[in-house]
Amino acid sequence: MKSFKSALSSPAGRAFLALVLVLAAGAIFNADHAFFKIGTQRDTLRQASVYGMLACGMTLVIVSGGIDLAVGSIVALAAVCAAKMAIHWNWPWWQVVPACLGVGALCGLVSGWVTASLRVQPFIATLSMMVLARGLAKYASGGMKVSTALPNADGSYRYVEIPALFHGIDHSIFGGNLSVVTLIFLVCVALAWLALARHRWGRYLYAIGGNEEAARLSGVPVVGAKICAYIASGLFAAVAGLCQAAQEQQGDPEAGAGYELTAIAMVVIGGTSLMGGRGGIGLTLLGVLTIGYLDKILSINAVPEAGRLVLTGIIIVAAVLTQRRGRT
Amino acid sequence: MRAKLFALLVFISLAVAGFAQPAKRTYTIGMSQCNLGEPWRVQMNADIRAAAAQHPELKVVFNDAQNDTLKQRAQVEEFVSAKVDLLIISPKEAQPLTEPVARAFEAGIPVIVLDRAILGDKYTCFIGADNKKIGKAAGQWIAKKLGGKGKVVELKGLMTSIPGQDRHTGFREGIAGTDIQVIFEADMKWLEPDARKEMESALSRFDHIDLVYGHNDPGAHGAYLAAKAAGRDGIAFVGIDALPQEGIAYVQQGILDATFRYTTGGAEAIDTALKIFKGETVPKKIVLGTRLFDKSNVATGGEALP
């Protein structure tokens, strides 16, 4: 009992408890044993992956005391660019992937520069980028989904093959039991963890999030470290956009709307503080799994939309309240 | 001699100028679109543009209200003060746009209302498709396709929206009296990723599914991707909307078994506008039929259903 209590005194213990409770709910409301099928597990992890990638970048930004609202729109922009390059222009994958990442990094660079150098509040700076990137996505796609149906000059359509890149990403390995998208997410987690927990830059971000002025006085390159956090967030969002396009087999300029809020919820449920300076990627991974499984359990039980929203809202608030109580 | 030549030149140039005068007057049509964020509405504008291009005397000015009711209201007022010859509006909402449209109508501008209705009767003509009828046609086609019995998944559009509700109730009317069971239904909010997610849940719960009815083509396409990823064959997919680059393309690629067109009414609006300009009387309400596109008829442009 004592060890149980001490486990709950750490944010990781509490985030883990939340995940266990959700999994227990899934075991009870298993929808005729559908919850226990390996396919369900694979789908749950795949569906949470795109949000999870955003949450990785979001964690870096939130630890530094910022927020990145632009990630959902960058997903759409990267998805449109990927579809345009891979389907319409027939680029090979080794050109599409770096180009997409470049677009994401550029968006992050602008957000970071406006926030760190021009000292605009992150909320406002990334809100502007959210609107701007959405506009660019609509402009690049002409307001239509970029799909394998290409318009001819006379208004009719011709159809092209789905690019190999998309098939490669939207694919399952290990006998169809693990999605490549989930693998990409795990790589993102590993990279973000290395940066935040093992690299000097990660220490800088914690220091800036804890007390920016103190960090600056002790010689932390505040502006550079912050800009890099937003670039990383843009990069992860671009990876998410590529995965989104591959799974939809098209680039939808409306994709990713509201994803930034899900990503923030995942980070916060994990126990990372929105005030900055506290948290970690491991916590975010627990948050991603908690929301991912919650979503799946509501879906396999065919809970109506209204009920889903109410339950999700209640559970997020409950999880965040437990996290806060532990901090005093 | 020179004076005569000059007079001749003057006469010729006057005559040419006289003939060059347009025989008919030109008409300016103001088109207020509530939101160009949806492919279907982009298609509506494209249909209007294509139909108007056949008639050089028509000039259409397009405006996009970006899903903002008050912006659309301002646009209607701008068109009235610009004294357009006719107003086409696809309103975002009924109540707030009823009065601005009525004012345009009372100012003597004929008004064609497209897709979504407004309140009262202060407009010239309403043109729209009937989602309930389309849902019913889809239900009847599905009942025929499955031979009157089978297990169906229904992926619904946003159920707080009228089109979502109508496509649902129409479908249930269409399959009423048959042994078709809807074993799983979920709200995918018109979104393809959500449809794929819900379909994956349906697939892990049920080992046997005969057909998926999606309230729009992207929804049906998302369900197809889910089934394909899970390696499940023998499921038929039916969608609605039949946009050329979406539903029709999917039927041609063998992804969907059928799709039903939700006609934009763009071409019909221009036809009606021409009748109004000629002084003919037009009906107060035009309900558009749907078109069925399936494997057998997609190459020949589908089959009109009443």
Concatenating the DSSP letter of every residue in B69-111 gives HHHHHHHHHHHHHTT-SEEEEE-S-HHHHHHHHHHHHHTT--E
Residue B10's pLDDT band (boundaries 50, 70, 90)? Answer: low
Q: Which of A8-12, A20-24, A76-80, B234-238 has the lowest mean pLDDT?
A: A8-12
pTM value is 0.83
Amino acid A11: pLDDT: 83
Yes or no, beta carbons of B245 and A157 under 8 Å apart:
yes
Contact with chain B for residue A300, Cβ under 8 A: yes
Q: Judge if B98 and B184 occupy the same domain.
A: no
- Taking alpha carbons only, the member of A35, A105, A51 closest to residue A261 is A51
> Is residue B191 located within the same domain as residue B229?
yes
The enclosing domain of B244 has a CATH number of 3.40.50.2300
Q: Are residues B147 and B87 both part of a single domain?
A: no
How high is the pLDDT of residue A1?
Answer: 54
Lowest mean pLDDT among A108-117, A136-145, A147-156: A147-156
Residue B135 sits in the same domain as residue B117: no
Q: Is residue B270 part of a domain?
A: no
| pLDDT value at B261 more than 70 | yes
pLDDT at B3: 65
Boundary-marking domain end, from B89, B123, B157: B123
Residue of chain A with shortest Cα separation from B157: A305
Interface of B with A (CB under 8 A): 36-37, 39, 42, 50, 159, 184-187, 189, 192-193, 196-198, 200-201, 203-205, 218, 222, 225, 229-231, 244-246, 248-249, 252-253
Kindly report the average pLDDT of chain B as a whole number.
90
Global ipTM: 0.81
For A161, nearest residue in chain B (alpha carbons)? B253
Residue A65 has pLDDT above 90, yes or no: yes
Q: Angle of helix A38-63 relative to helix A259-270, nearest 10 degrees? A: 80
Provide the pLDDT confidence category of residue A15 given band limits of 50, 70 and 90: confident
Task: Tell me the residue ranges of DSSP E strands in A154-297.
Answer: 157-159, 172-173, 178-179
B83 shares its domain with B205:
no
Q: Indicate if B111 and B244 belong to the same structural domain.
A: no
Q: Can you read off the two tokens belonging to residue B12?
A: 């010729």
Domain count, chain B: 2
| Closest residue in chain A to residue B190, using alpha carbons only | A254
Note whether B189 and B49 are same-domain residues: no
Tell me, yes or no, whether B114 and B259 share the same domain.
no
Cα A256–chain centre separation: 10
Q: In terms of domains, do B65 and B192 share one?
A: no
How far is Cα of residue B21 from the mean position of the Cα atoms in its chain? 37
pLDDT at residue number A148 = 85
Task: Assess whether pLDDT exceeds 80 at residue B224.
Answer: yes
**B chain contacts of residue A40, beta-carbon cutoff 8 Å:** 200-201, 204
Question: Distance (Å, rounded) from C-alpha B242 to C-alpha B248?
Answer: 5
Please tell me if residue A233 touches chain B, with a CB cutoff of 8 Å.
no
Q: Is residue B7 part of a domain?
A: no
- CB distance B205–A300 less than 8 Å? yes
Q: Which of B38, B182, B245, B256 to probe the A interface (max A CBs under 10 A)?
A: B245
Q: Do A252 and B205 touch (CB under 8 A)?
A: no
**B6 within some domain:** no
Rounded to whole angstroms, the Cα distance separating A98 from A113 reads 22
Contact B204 A247 (CB under 8 A): no
DSSP element (H, E) containing B236: strand B236-241
The pLDDT of residue B4? 66
Statement to judge: residues B92 and B143 lie in one domain: no
Write down the pLDDT at residue A304: 87
Q: How confident is the model at residue B12 (pLDDT cuts 50, 70, 90)?
A: low
Boundaries of domain holding B87? 27-123
In a domain, B22, yes or no: no
| Closest in A144, A296, A302 to B184, CB measured | A302
Task: Determine, yes or no, domain membership for B31.
Answer: yes
User: Are residues B78 and B201 part of one domain?
Assistant: no
Residue B16 is assigned to a structural domain of this protein: no
pLDDT band at A153; cut points 50, 70, 90: confident
Domain boundary among B107, B123, B139: B123
If you measure CA to CA, which chain B residue comes closest to A150?
B245
Task: Indicate whether B283 belongs to any domain.
Answer: no
To the nearest whole percent, how much of chain B has pLDDT over 90? 72
Does B106 share its domain with B137?
no
- Domains assigned to chain A: 10-327 (1.10.3470)
Q: Where are the beta strands (DSSP E) in chain A?
A: 149-151, 157-159, 172-173, 178-179
B13 inside domain: no
B1 pLDDT band, cuts 50/70/90, is low
Q: Of B70, B104, B123, which one is at a domain's C-terminal end?
A: B123
pLDDT at A326: 55
Decide: B30 and B82 in contact? Cβ < 8 Å.
yes
